[in-house]
Amino acid sequence: MVFHKSGSSKGQLTTQILKLNRTELIEKRKEKIESLLLLIELWNNAQSGDVKEGFRYLILEECKLDKEFSLMVECFLIQNVGLSAK
């Protein structure tokens, strides 16, 4: 789900107008996070430095602006993994 900042009428309005919490959009974001979690697990379990770096590359590729939900992915990585594309 998408949440606006507490007290932000602009955020609340944007969420409602764009219907950011519609069922199909929530499902697509969930699928993106699940696929990201799989990559993170593979990255964490990789023994070889080259393999580990390969998974890190794939994870950070999901933060590129041409990818769907790239900002959500970047925020998720920063908050949960401490990994940033920058």
Within a domain: 2: no
Within a domain: 32: yes
Domain that holds residue 69: 9-80
Q: Considering the entire predicted model, what is its pTM?
A: 0.82
Q: What is the DSSP letter of 68?
A: T
User: Count of CB atoms within 10 A of residue 43's CB?
Assistant: 19
Within a domain: 86: no
Q: pLDDT class for 85, splitting at 50, 70, 90?
A: confident
Within a domain: 14: yes
Within a domain: 3: no
Within a domain: 75: yes
Q: Is 21 helix (H, G, I), strand (E, B) or coil?
A: coil
Query: How far apart (Å, rounded) are the C-alpha atoms in residues 77 and 70?
Result: 11
* Residue-wise pLDDT tens digits, 14-66: 999 999 999 999 999 999 999 999 999 999 999 999 999 999 999 999 999 99
Within a domain: 47: yes
Within a domain: 4: no
- If one counts the domains in the chain, the total is 1
